[in-house]
Structure 1
Amino acid sequence: MILVTGATGTVGREVVRRMPEGAAVRILARDPARVAGADSRAEAVFGDYGDPVSLAGALRGVRRAFLVTSRVGGDQDALFLRAAGAAGVRHVVKLSAAAVEDDQAQDLITRWQRESEHLLRESGMEWTLLRPRSFMSNSLSWASSVRADHVVRSLYGASANACVDPRDIADVAVRALTEPGHTGRAYTLTGPRAISAVEQTDELAALLGRALRFEELGTAPARMLWSERYPPAVVDALVHSAERQREGAKARVESTVEDLTGRPARAFRSWAGAHLAAFMP
């Protein structure tokens, strides 16, 4: 039995859609009704990291698990791994982040991911770490301004990021969950080339068939924008991350997606074309 967490999120929902037909799959979600795209034989169950009874029930009979946590600085990893170990789970595939490999990245989010990876490696269970660069889907945050004003606003728009399509992350996750040979491995996942927000704006404009303008945000406006969604410590982490990107720390391209799937990583244009409706009036 394979357990998939984060199944209503960006990567988890793609993992659910890509699980082999007929595989024994259980999906943990706070709202199982929101789970979409699963095989009809997959079982969606209620579960919450803070509810040990629900975790124990969801993990019963599970031997492999895909782990996604989202509460920065929280104890979700510790709670899940404790329950998974007690339930006899043998192998956990964890969604982490590429920044953990950057010694100069010492922001809150990266430190939390490093600590979470350490917990898994010390858990006694077999492990696989997926370390994606930024998600191409992060550009969905521009959708409202593109629709309303034909504008993309971003901090350090000329800096490049080897961002990755969440579908590629999911393809690798499914292989790690269903094939031998992935335990004890850490996979850094990137797109086929580093691309800047300015270049992404041009790609979107070409696909939409209309002109788009890029507007450079200063640090203060970016902080104000992010503060509408995140607490101050996370905003500080996002600014630090953007500064590391400006310094070139996120431009390196890896061949991991192609090495593991046998095909090149998807380009930003492919991702944008599949999500173009979000940017259309």
Structure 2
Amino acid sequence: MIVVTGATGNVGRALVSQLVADGHPLRALTRDPSRAALPAGAEAVRADLADTTGLPALFTGATSLFINLSAVGDHTPALLAAAIPAGVRRVVLLSSGAVEDGADENSPIVAHHLAPERAVQASGAQWTLLRPNAFATNSLQWAPQIRSGDVVRGPFAGARTAPIHEADIAAVAARALVDDGHHTAIYRLTGPDILTTAEQIQAIGTALGRELRFDEVPREDVGADLFPHVPPQMLETILDAFAAAVTAETEVTTTVGQVTGRPALTFAHWAADHVADFQRPTA
């Protein structure tokens, strides 16, 4: 039995779908199973991670665990304390590419991911760390603007990343959860192509059959309204990362292909998969 946290998120839902399609017994943890809309074959279970007394029951019969830090966060140690005694022997953690050799441990983003990484490594289970860089789904932040017009406003049009499709992150996670040979592996994950922010907007426009334009906003004029999904205390850190991405060398890895046996999906593929998220509402 594989337990998946964050099962209704972008990566979690893709992972659940892949594992179920491959016939693996799966327990999907979610706040509200009645609204999870997960594929048949997934056992959707309500999980309140703050209720430590109820955690051991979530792992009855489980041997593997996927931890998505965006869903679990500070509850990682408690989750591990319940999972390992219950019989979980393999843990795959979705961390962040911000964690790397020489990274500033005082950085809020690094610190947020590094502590759970260390907890997983010290858990006694076989462990694998996934460190993706830019998620292609970050472009969903522009969806409200694209649905309402053909001009997208934001900072750093020239910021360069290699966005990764959530299905590729899920595919690597699936292999690490199911196959032997991934213990102590730290996988840095990216998409196959380097694009600027403006080029990503153009690619979304192509998928929609529209001509979209990116209108660069000076950093000093950027407010929380452009990044409503980012905690206010993290906004400056995010903007620093965007600024650095304009001139820094962009990392591109071949890890997806090496682990899964197929090439990583392009951003154009991702945009085509997400057309519905950007379409204008019909009257």
**TM norm structure 1:** 0.92
Q: How does 1:220-259 map to 2 (within 5 A)?
A: 220-225=220-225, 228-248=228-248, 251-259=250-258
TM-superposed CA distance for 1:96, in Å, is: 0.5
TM-superposed CA distance for 1:102, in Å, is: 5.8
Asked whether the 8 Å contact 1:107–1:236 carries over to 2, the reply is: no
The corresponding residue for 2:28 is: 27
Q: How does 1:1-281 map to 2 (within 5 A)?
A: 1-19=1-19, 20-38=21-39, 40-70=40-70, 75-101=74-100, 103-104=102-103, 106-225=106-225, 228-248=228-248, 251-281=250-280
TM-superposed CA distance for 1:177, in Å, is: 0.8
State how far apart, in whole Å, the 2-side matches of 1:81 and 1:56 are.
10
Asked whether the 8 Å contact 1:8–1:34 carries over to 2, the reply is: no
Report % sequence identity. 39
Asked whether the 8 Å contact 1:100–1:110 carries over to 2, the reply is: yes
State how far apart, in whole Å, the 2-side matches of 1:113 and 1:9 are.
18
TM-superposed CA distance for 1:226, in Å, is: 5.3
TM-superposed CA distance for 1:159, in Å, is: 1.6
Q: Which amino acid aligns with 2:32?
A: D
Q: Which amino acid aligns with 1:3?
A: V
Asked whether the 8 Å contact 2:126–2:184 carries over to 1, the reply is: yes
Asked whether the 8 Å contact 2:98–2:133 carries over to 1, the reply is: yes
Q: Which amino acid aligns with 1:92?
A: V
Q: Which amino acid aligns with 2:246?
A: R
State how far apart, in whole Å, the 2-side matches of 1:148 and 1:170 are.
31
State how far apart, in whole Å, the 2-side matches of 1:244 and 1:124 are.
37
State how far apart, in whole Å, the 1-side matches of 2:227 and 2:168 are.
30
Gaps in structure 2 of 5+ consecutive residues: none
Q: 1:208 to 1:231 in 2, by over 3 A?
A: closer
Asked whether the 8 Å contact 2:38–2:44 carries over to 1, the reply is: no
CA RMSD of the aligned region, Å? 1.9
State how far apart, in whole Å, the 2-side matches of 1:226 and 1:85 are.
41
Asked whether the 8 Å contact 2:89–2:126 carries over to 1, the reply is: yes
Q: Mean Cα displacement is larger for which, 216-225 or 9-18?
A: 216-225
Q: Deviations over 1:89-117 (max 9, x none)?
A: 11100000111016355531222111111
Aligned length: 278
TM-superposed CA distance for 1:71, in Å, is: 6.7
Asked whether the 8 Å contact 1:223–1:239 carries over to 2, the reply is: no
Gaps in structure 1 of 5+ consecutive residues: none
Q: Which amino acid aligns with 2:53?
A: V
TM-superposed CA distance for 1:171, in Å, is: 0.7
State how far apart, in whole Å, the 2-side matches of 1:48 and 1:237 are.
30
Q: 1:54 to 1:110 in 2, by over 3 A?
A: same
Q: 1:22 to 1:207 in 2, by over 3 A?
A: closer
State how far apart, in whole Å, the 2-side matches of 1:58 and 1:71 are.
16
TM-superposed CA distance for 1:229, in Å, is: 4.1
Q: Mean Cα displacement is larger for which, 229-238 or 148-157?
A: 229-238
Secondary structure, aligned partner of 1:50: coil
**TM norm structure 2:** 0.91
State how far apart, in whole Å, the 2-side matches of 1:215 and 1:28 are.
40
State how far apart, in whole Å, the 1-side matches of 2:13 and 2:112 are.
23
Asked whether the 8 Å contact 1:152–1:215 carries over to 2, the reply is: yes
Asked whether the 8 Å contact 2:77–2:119 carries over to 1, the reply is: yes
